[in-house]
Amino acid sequence: MEKQHIYYFDNNATSRVAEEVAREMEPFFHDLYANPSSMHFFGGSLQIYLDTARQRVADLLGARPEEIIFTSCGTESDSTAIYSALRSQPGKKHFITTQVEHPAVLTVAKNLEKQGYRVTRLPVDAEGRLNLDDLKQAITADTALVSMMWANNETGVVFPVEEAARIAHSRGVLFHTDAVQAAGKIPINLSETRIDMLSVSGHKLHAPKGIGVLYVRKGTPFTPFLIGGHQEDGRRAGTENVPYIVGLGKAAELARKHIELENTQVRELRDRLEAGLTAAVPGTKVNGRGAERLPNTLSICFEYIEGESILLMLSEKGICASSGSACTSGSLEPSHVLRAMKVPQTYAHGSIRLSLSIYNTREEVDYVIKEFPAIVEKLRAISPFADGKPLFGAGDGHHH
Ligand code: PLP
């Protein structure tokens, strides 16, 4: 039987492990299995591989190797950064973030409120952009930390984190950014910023799932999240995940080389997809089109239909994408990101995210453009909403 081609347009969910990365990891599942903390020659012989990986990640971020801490994932990096900033400044009880962060930050924020912290969630406009005046006004003498994502996972909208970090810094407030979606897609040079902490996840940049990085600027107060052994210079306990660290190092080296491709080839393909879909299908809306966006991400709404139905029909055609919904208390709601952007009700339910990588081809993009109109037509034909009748409840066009 012929293997079905996978049209993979879900790279913001996870990306394929690069062949070069898998190859680099291979020996560490076989001969090179020692614990790098062991006193014997075998353990010691692994140190060089950890050092190389740390240097490669530092080079991708414009950081120093001693500022790189390996973690298990982006989520751990986010939690570590936020709790560290708060524990290091026990007198300060205010945390600033945004309405459109990943749950890895928003769920921590909710938890902090239960523990007595005050949380400010900065709003965004209809294009998903922040107003930095809101940040300036939110900072008080009680503010311990600002955590603001570099790029949004759903829309790809890029936040002005470097400027935001300068603002926070000038007021004596620590600054963390979740750069899980930004790393490898847009240039990052931390040496030129006032960013104190930054999170990266391996599986978004062609390393495996289950490895991440937290950058902590030299001199930043730091309290570990995982405590135990002395690994990572006492900043993250747990025996080093040598194969995955090595893999992430290789992925970082590749990402640095490929960042130009991301911003030429991948951007052109994304723009081709966006132009093709908006031309071929009536009643679309591109989320964040007026903002600076990642080169690989297209978030697009189709009026009067449901994103989940589109996904299922795309899936039948071998196309992998995501929808902009979140299942909250059993009902499908537009995601918190689209709600924060106040995407009109008739559009918000029909949201699809297509996210590309350097492994996508023009043929794949053209296939998606070719398949889409019939799918949308079919769904609109059976949509109870497409004939002008009110949508989803009250029918005033507003979300309750
Ligand atoms: N932050 C953002 C913006 C993400 O997109 C993701 C991944 O979905 C995460 C954090 C979590 O990363 P991980 O899956 O490595 O925990």
CATH dotted code for 19-255? 3.40.640.10
Helices (H) and strands (E) in the chain, counts: 14, 15
Per residue in 199-258, pLDDT tens? 999 999 999 999 999 999 999 999 999 999 999 999 999 999 999 999 999 999 999 999
> Coil, strand or helix: which one is 214?
strand
Share of the chain above pLDDT 90, in %: 92
Which is catalytic among the residues 73, 301, 320, 327?
A: 327
Ligand 1 centroid to Cα of residue 82, in Å, is 15
Residue 2 has pLDDT above 50, yes or no: yes
Ligand 1 centroid to Cα of residue 11, in Å, is 12
**Residue 73: active-site member:** no
pTM: 0.95
If you take atom 7 of ligand 1, which residue's CA is the nearest one? 13
Whether 74 lines ligand 1, by a CB cut-off of 6 Å, is yes
Mean pLDDT for all residues in the chain: 95
Query: Buried b / exposed e across 124-142, counting CB within 10 Å, b at 16+?
Result: beebbbbeeeebeebbeee
What pLDDT does 360 receive? 98
* Closest ligand 1 atom to 73 CA: 15
Ligand 1 centroid to Cα of residue 201, in Å, is 7
Ligand 1 centroid to Cα of residue 75, in Å, is 6
Domain boundaries, the chain: 7-12+259-381, 19-255
Residue 16 has pLDDT above 70, yes or no: yes
Whose structure tokens read 């009536």? 282
User: To test ligand 1's pocket by mutation, which of 75, 197, 322 has the most ligand atoms within 8 angstroms of CB?
Assistant: 75
Domain 7-12+259-381 has CATH 3.90.1150.10: yes
Confidence band for 386, pLDDT divided at 50, 70 and 90:
low
> Coil, strand or helix: which one is 135?
helix
* Closest ligand 1 atom to 77 CA: 16
Residue 71 has pLDDT above 50, yes or no: yes
